[in-house]
Amino acid sequence: MVQYIPAARLDASFAALSDVTRRGVLEQLGRADASITELAGKFRMTLTGMKKHVSVLEQAGLVTTEKVGRVRTCRLGARHLEEEAAWIERYRELWAARFDALDEVVLELKEKERGHGRQKKK
């Protein structure tokens, strides 16, 4: 059974994932931890711009940062998006059921069309 997820949490997750750079940061951090400077270089943006992206990911719980001296290191957060995936899956199932029902209607219409075509030929 899927547990209730507060709307604010879903909003934060989907807002964080809505940006191509932030998705890229998550992919990069999935391979290895990186400093904000390294991420900014990889994505060809300013440190300020990357800090903003990391902040959005951090607020959503998708990234954690740790400052040691002058270096802020980023790593994947503890959240694994299971709740968001379950939310998406519910809608995928809903749409799959609707498309299955549409397929049945189309098949019925084709059968009726074939039946009427045969009767006219006789």
The string of pLDDT tens digits covering residues 20-65 is: 999 999 999 999 999 999 999 999 999 999 999 999 999 999 999 9
For residue 1, the model assigns a pLDDT of 45
Q: Count of CB atoms within 10 A of residue 122's CB? A: 4
Question: What is the C-alpha separation between 43 and 55, in angstroms, rounded?
Answer: 16
